[in-house]
Amino acid sequence: MTAPVQFRPPHVESVPLGSAGGRLVVVPRPGELAEVRVVLPAVPVESGHTGRVQTVAEALRRQLGETLAGTADLRVESRPDRIIVSARALREDADTVVRQVGTALAATALGELDLRRAADTVRARVAAGATHPLTTARTAFLRAVYGSHPLAEEGADLAPDLSVCTPATLVRDIELSRCSVVLVGGAGVDVVAPVVRSAFEPVGATAVGSGAAPAVVRRPEPRVGRVSNPRAAGDLLRLGTLGPARDHVDYPALQLGALMLGGYYASSLTRILREREGLSYAPRAVLDPVADAATLVIEADVPGGRAGEATGFVREAYEALSAAGSAAALDTARTFAIGSMALACSSRSGLASVLAGVLGSGLEPSWLARYAERLGGVGPRTLSAALDRHWAWDRLAGAVVTSKNHPPFRNE
């Protein structure tokens, strides 16, 4: 499993798109298919942000679903810090896709899409899942980590703001003038650039952002709270903390640390909580880059009343990351990470999505070229130092969702 894995990122052509920081990234490929990704940055400024982003994404999904029906396989996804429009089309239809997306974005900036209907759809979707235990766990975890920051809003928190939004307030969080475009397949950037710039020029001319700075995260005192949900079948344990974003020098070490902790079946959480203790079938740890930070999320669903016991085993797995003899586990995680990236970039659609994720994180396309090199520079000491700086155990916060009242445990 730890045999060397080669990752050779493809040649990428990149030029500026507009004057606000957007990029056009092109990867020429032979064949008849083209993959298009349009990345729309979103800036969390005030309450209701995530709901507004989801509403704009839904409006774009409806609009483009109609205009590109029969022309492209379309998908519109949203995260709190971005919206990504994905389309797969024949090479000869790629220009049409780009123009239609540009037209839809210009209409979005002017508030001409059916945002009210989209808001109703999002509100109904949020209401349908608001009482689910997983939603309760996610909401409580985000509040524990982010405090009152807009990124802490989840579940039922999204619904109230959507009912009173106007088109102008709905689109203000989306920085349409900073949109970026990825095109995999087709001609080179010299041929593609004039078409894309012509299609997106109206977007920059009409887009008006809020102009406000992103909200500052004021992290609350780390604690693990308890939330009751009668639908919970057991205890849902969520722990985590905020760390630096993907452009930080310590991010590669933290990425490998998350994998070693709970990123695959050979991880510490699986070995201890599932194989040794039989407490949780699928414990995991995820490093989730959002906006200008990356959130460590540790999840373990255990039988009712055993969250405190599980927390002790999570700490055991946590402390094993920097223990003597972790070099072999570090090599395994590095091989897994490089192999996963190589696999993700092996197809047109995968490569387009990876590049869109890079741009969505505010990084240059060249970031991908040194991916394996950065991971290769992480040793046991580098990992241990990064963990101490950003993920010390006493900095972890979180929540437990349970259906019953059980004795309190660590720092409640």
Q: Where are the domains of the chain?
A: 13-206, 224-402
How far lies 92's CA from each of 31, 47, 59, 102, 197, in Å?
Answer: 11, 43, 26, 17, 18
Placement of tokens 């190589």 in the chain? 342
What does the pLDDT read at residue 160? 45
- pLDDT band at residue 215 under the 50/70/90 scheme: confident
Please state the rounded mean pLDDT for residues 36-46: 92
- pLDDT beyond 90 at 82: yes
C-alpha neighbours within 13 Å on the C-beta side of residue 115: 26
Please state the rounded mean pLDDT for residues 111-139: 87
Query: CATH assignment of 224-402?
Result: 3.30.830.10
- pLDDT beyond 70 at 167: no
What does the pLDDT read at residue 209? 56
The whole-angstrom separation of Cα 14 and Cα 249 is 24
- pLDDT beyond 90 at 51: no
Query: Smallest Cα–Cα separation from 118: which of 72, 69, 71, 174?
Result: 174
Beta partners for residue 86, in sequence order: 37, 75
Spell out the SS3 assignment of the chain. Answer: CCCCCCCCCCCCEEEEECCCCEEEEEECECCCEEEEEEEEEECCCCCCHHHHHHHHHHHHHHHHHHHCCCCEEEEEEEECCEEEEEEEEEHHHHHHHHHHHHHHHHHHHCCCCCHHHHHHHHHHHHHHHCCCHHHHHHHHHHHHHHCCCHHHCCHHHHHHHHCCCCHHHHHCCECHHHCEEEEECECCHHHHHHHHHHHHHHHHHHCCCCCCCCCCCCCCCCCEEEEECCCCCCEEEEEEEEECCCCCCCHHHHHHHHHHHHCCCCCHHHHHHHHHCCCCCCCEEEEEEECCEEEEEEEEEECCCCHHHHHHHHHHHHHHHHCCCCHHHHHHHHHHHHHHHHHHCCCHHHHHHHHHHHHHCCCCHHHHHHHHHHHHCCCHHHHHHHHHHHCCHHHCEEEEEECCCCCCCCCC
Residues 324-371: tens digit of each pLDDT: 557 888 999 999 999 999 999 999 999 999 999 999 999 999 999 899
What does the pLDDT read at residue 302? 96
* CB neighbours of residue 74 within 10 Å: 21
* CB neighbours of residue 285 within 10 Å: 25
What is the pTM for the complete model shown? 0.91
Domain 13-206 of CATH type 3.30.830.10: yes
What does the pLDDT read at residue 117? 85
Please state the rounded mean pLDDT for residues 65-79: 94
What does the pLDDT read at residue 411? 47
Please state the rounded mean pLDDT for residues 232-257: 95
Between 81-90, 99-108, 130-139, 285-294, the lowest mean confidence (pLDDT) is in 99-108
What does the pLDDT read at residue 412? 45
Query: Smallest Cα–Cα separation from 237: which of 92, 51, 396, 86?
Result: 396
What does the pLDDT read at residue 3? 56
What does the pLDDT read at residue 97? 93
Please state the rounded mean pLDDT for residues 137-150: 91
Please state the rounded mean pLDDT for residues 10-38: 91
Structure tokens at 218: 């004021």
What does the pLDDT read at residue 172? 78
Between 36-45, 214-223, 242-251, 252-261, the lowest mean confidence (pLDDT) is in 214-223
Query: What is the residue-averaged pLDDT of the chain?
Result: 88
- pLDDT beyond 50 at 383: yes
What does the pLDDT read at residue 163? 53
Asked if the domains at 13-206 and 224-402 fall in one CATH topology, the answer is yes
- pLDDT band at residue 138 under the 50/70/90 scheme: very high
Please state the rounded mean pLDDT for residues 36-40: 96
Between 172-181, 199-208, 262-271, 377-386, the lowest mean confidence (pLDDT) is in 199-208
CB distance 41 to 181 below 8 Å? no
Parallel, antiparallel or unpaired: strands 13-17 and 33-41? unpaired
**Maximal CA-CA distance, the chain:** 66
Parallel, antiparallel or unpaired: strands 180-184 and 72-79? unpaired
* Identity of residue 53: V
Please state the rounded mean pLDDT for residues 80-103: 93
- pLDDT beyond 90 at 262: yes
Query: Smallest Cα–Cα separation from 133: which of 327, 403, 405?
Result: 403
Between 154-158, 183-187, 207-211, 327-331, the lowest mean confidence (pLDDT) is in 207-211
